[in-house]
Amino acid sequence: MAEVGSGHTGGVRVRVAPSPTGDPHVGTAYMSLFNLAFARQQGGDFILRVEDTDRARYVPDSERQIFQTLRWLGLDWDEGPDKGGPFAPYRQSERSDTYRPYVEQLLAEGHAYHCWCSPERLKQMREEQQKAKRPTGYDRLCYGKTREERAQLPGFSENPVVRMLIPDDVALSFIDGIRGEVGAPRPDDQVIVKADGLPTYHLANVVDDHAMGITHVVRGEEWISSTPKHLLLYDWLGWERPVFLHMPLLRNTDKSKISKRKNPAARLLWFQEQGYLPEALVNFLGLMGYSMPDGREIFSFDDMVASFDWARVNTVGPVFDLDKLAWLNGHYVRELSPVELASRITDHLSRTGVLPPEPTQEQRDVVTSAVPLVQERMAVLSEAEGMLGFLFADETFAIDPAAAAAVLTGNAREVLTSALHALDALETWTTPVIEDALRGALIEELGLKPKHAFGPVRVAVTGRRVSPPLFESIELLGRERTLHRLRAGLDAVTDEGEKG
Ligand code: GLU
């Protein structure tokens, strides 16, 4: 791996260039993964550049969340706003001065022109074009006019934008490093500097990719239509073109583009909230478009690096199948050592408020002891909240009302009373002793079937109808708390007639 600060050594340099416009999109992780895998395989550099020139859509906390989620996934960068590097600054808002000379050059050489059309005029123009079923696009009213000439005409606004003058013979296809020759629609006279003086994405992106020595631009398919404009800018400015590679878009199961509006999984934070493991998500994102030479579905980032080849990237829109992800996650959960899983569960429970931000050693020990009860049963860490929450709730402990209504009724009073007596009499508090006592009291003496014997005890003690194995749970909960909950459970029993 290249040392930060080593400068451009002539090797591969790739980047991910997210815009901090909201909480991080899963596509940012997806692009980072493929860029980074390629960089690592080539011994190149991976750069994180924040594209924050769109101040209207800027969300202050977004950048921190982007850093946090990418690091959580292990997709760390060699150069970036927080790390510095030879081409700092890595935030476009701090680079505004870099763009100006190139704008001057493009204007002077006739590749760009000022446009004073007001937003209202542009809107009206577009509506008329649509009504007449003509192709929409800027009609070049301002082209070739001085400010004074243009000011005589309607729809003039004080602060001009700068537009590219797209030539008639603009190339509408280019060679993509994954797809081969791709075509794109004819571009409009793209705005490259906005009325506020800031560059648009198109200009800033090209200038920075050049300035930062980016050799391969790996990005989403949605940018294919922009690439002819970017290529023009490279040519006009006399710069060597990088290789362009467009990854497929992630799709919902209905094949539509994955979006935060439609799919919670478009938000990277969602995976943390749900308790997916970063290694599972990395594997899953890898599967979205990449296939291992031996076809195996379970692979790590390092496996992917070792075999990495753009020819193995499939551009047919990969479907974001959450069932598959849950399956993968369950696999990784079972692969973890119990100690490691305990630490992941503890972190998750802290994050979700089941445990305090700094859990006590005792709380950590309880999670560690509980891991064998849940490791085989859970797919995502959030399930631990439901399965283990009862171990940490005291004042807040409450029996799920639906479970109470269904189970703490009929002969539940008799069951709980017998269980209470049997457990109260115990001198040692271990799983086998607890099991013997409850079986003796409920199955042998009361003659109940296991479901009727243990159901009410489970609901009283864990608050739920589904829990980790009962006797182990009771051991972990401890004597005092168990007896206390059985008594409280007794108070919660309703007789058949009382319901409703
Ligand atoms: N800022 C763009 C984005 O948010 C970067 C696109 C590119 O990689 O060129 O997706």
**Mean pLDDT (the chain, rounded):** 94
Instruction: Tell me which of 494 and 499 has the higher pLDDT.
Output: 494
Domain ranges of the chain: 10-79+201-335, 340-394, 401-492
* The pLDDT value given to residue 224: 97
**What pLDDT is attached to residue 496?**
65
Do the two domains 10-79+201-335 and 401-492 of this chain adopt the same fold?
no
Instruction: Tell me which range, 236-240, 313-317, 464-468, is most confidently predicted by mean pLDDT.
Output: 236-240
pLDDT for position 8: 47
- Give the residue, out of 50, 90, 201, with the most ligand 1 atoms within 8 A of its beta carbon, to mutate for a pocket test: 201
Quote the ligand 1 centre to 217 CA distance (angstroms). Answer: 10
Is residue 24 lining ligand 1, measured as CB closer than 6 Å? no
* Distance in Å, CA 85 to ligand 1 centroid: 20
488 vs 319, which has greater pLDDT? 488
Confidence of residue 9 (pLDDT cuts 50, 70, 90): low
For position 254, what pLDDT does the model report? Answer: 85
CB proximity list for 307: less than 8 A, separation 6 or greater: 292, 293
**Residue 90 pLDDT more than 60?**
yes
The CA-based dihedral angle spanning residues 68, 299, 301, 309, taken in that order and rounded to the nearest 10 degrees:
-130
80 lines ligand 1 (CB under 6 A): no
The closest-lying atom of ligand 1 relative to the alpha carbon of residue 27 is 10
| Nearest atom in ligand 1 to 15's CA | 8
User: Is residue 17 lining ligand 1, measured as CB closer than 6 Å?
Assistant: yes
Ligand 1 pocket test, candidate residues 198, 205, 216, 260, most atoms within 8 A of CB:
205
Q: What is the pLDDT of residue 5?
A: 34
Query: What CA–CA distance (Å, rounded) separates 435 from 432?
Result: 5
The domain made up of 10-79+201-335 has a fold known as Rossmann fold (3.40.50)
What is the pLDDT at residue 132? Answer: 95
Q: What is the pLDDT of residue 395?
A: 83
pLDDT at 212 over 90: yes
Among protein residues, the one with the nearest Cα to ligand 1's atom 5 is 17
What band does 239 get if pLDDT is binned at 50, 70 and 90?
A: very high
| Cβ of 239 below 6 Å from ligand 1 | no
324 is catalytic: no
| CATH architecture of the domain covering 401-492 | Orthogonal Bundle (1.10)
Tens-place pLDDT, residues 448-486: 999 999 999 999 999 999 999 999 999 999 999 999 999
Average pLDDT, stretch 88-113? 97
Name which of 80-84, 124-128, 154-158, 494-498 the model is least confident about: 494-498
Q: Which of 133, 260, 324, 499 is catalytic?
A: 260
pLDDT reported for residue 4: 32
Using pLDDT thresholds of 50, 70 and 90, give the confidence band for residue 257: confident
Q: What is the residue with the minimal CA distance to atom 10 of ligand 1?
A: 18
Report yes or no on whether pTM surpasses 0.85. Answer: yes
Q: Which atom of ligand 1 is nearest to the CA of 16?
A: 8
